[in-house]
Amino acid sequence: MQGKSETVRLNSKAGKKISSHFTEVFDGLTLIRAFGKQDDLKEDCNKIMNQRLMTEYMDNWCHFYFQVRLLSFSNLMFIATGAMCISLKGTLDSTMLALLFSQL
């Protein structure tokens, strides 16, 4: 769970970095053009966008991993419950089952 929260933190940090970068770029656009630094700007933008996409990719994979893990555990519980019901068929009466399920 700590890894998931770390990827969410990195993802939000990367998003803030992009918005502040583009705000500064638009404020200094005339200076960038005056000194002919458009290529440097493109490289910086590509680097920042790649970092953002990488953190989003990691965040999505963490989400997918936890989802698969949770579904696998719940499927295992359903299989175990079904196997237990089949193996205990006829050994428990209805009052015992009512007591068991009332505790949930």
The 3 state secondary structure assigned to the chain is CHHHHHHHHHHHHHHHHHHHHHHHHHHCHHHHHHCCCHHHHHHHHHHHHHHHHHHHHHHHHHHHHHHHHHHHHHHHHHHHHHHHHHHCCCCCCHHHHHHHHHCC
Largest CA distance in the chain: 87
The rounded percent of the chain whose pLDDT value lies above 70 is 88
User: pTM value?
Assistant: 0.56
Q: Each residue of 5-52: pLDDT tens digit?
A: 777 777 677 777 777 777 888 788 888 888 888 898 889 888 888 888
Question: What pLDDT score does 68 carry?
Answer: 93
> Which carries the bigger pLDDT value, residue 85 or residue 66?
66
* Rounded to 5°, angle at Cα 3 from 66 and 63: 30
